[in-house]
Structure 1
């Protein structure tokens, strides 16, 4: 079993692809291999494929694949692992196990993958979450007061127009009267 993830992290809400190989079969006889994996909650297996004709069954947190390898044959493997946008752990741990009809070839391996945003927008977002909000709103208070005043004036004008008698409402043909 030779598995590796691309360097870096998996971002929450994205799928990471793990590629590797099963085999090659180093014996002089045909070997039936069962390859299985399980992961932490907050991570989801989207798909697992064996290119050389193996069959894989994928459940949410685990999968199982079966393949028969002839002497010297290897199988290319792809695991698509999704990090949930809200519930992904900081580190995704996976436990992989191979069992065969030859007990000497049984194997297991643990994979740990960091999960988290590693880009400029994540850094920017983290600065907002620690921004001293107590010193910031002073500049917004006059703007908020003006917006509320404009809303109140608009509502007052709407109410005034609804209560005017119909013959005194301004229109294009009947402009407002001016008293002298």
Structure 2
């Protein structure tokens, strides 16, 4: 599915949030690798579950055609600096919900890019009959957890010792959801 472009100017940075298009695939493949190397908040280490250019082209095509999916990019000076996805399912018992994920280059943290990607996703979901958005977040990512709670998400559960990070320690994953009744 697609949304209308949105423009923001926050803390001196001007950016646009728009639907991804197939021409973004090359840049998305590279930026995903970079983001995975900048933080341990993601599910992957750099290079794991790599998506090449044709893979991103197919993902964008699928997300654009599927009414239960949304792929957004944040763009600064014609450069993609972050992206988010909502992915639904065709299974009837779960057709009311989507799963949300977001990535932003570390250089652009602090400009509400992740927040605005999520806000656009929430608006899209609410406008398209989607009742629930779910997400997973690392327990140490307190800033993200606080943001999600401010935007109506609740902690639904904890996956104990769910992932091991570079320090060799096991960490919990927080499962959060926002339900629009």
* Interval containing the TM-score (normalised by the shorter chain): under 0.3
Structure (1 or 2) with the larger CA radius of gyration: 1
TM-score, with structure 2 as normaliser: 0.26
TM-score, with structure 1 as normaliser: 0.26
**Which of structures 1 and 2 has the larger relative contact order (alpha carbons within 8 angstroms, sep 6+)?**
1
Q: Which has the higher helix share?
A: 2
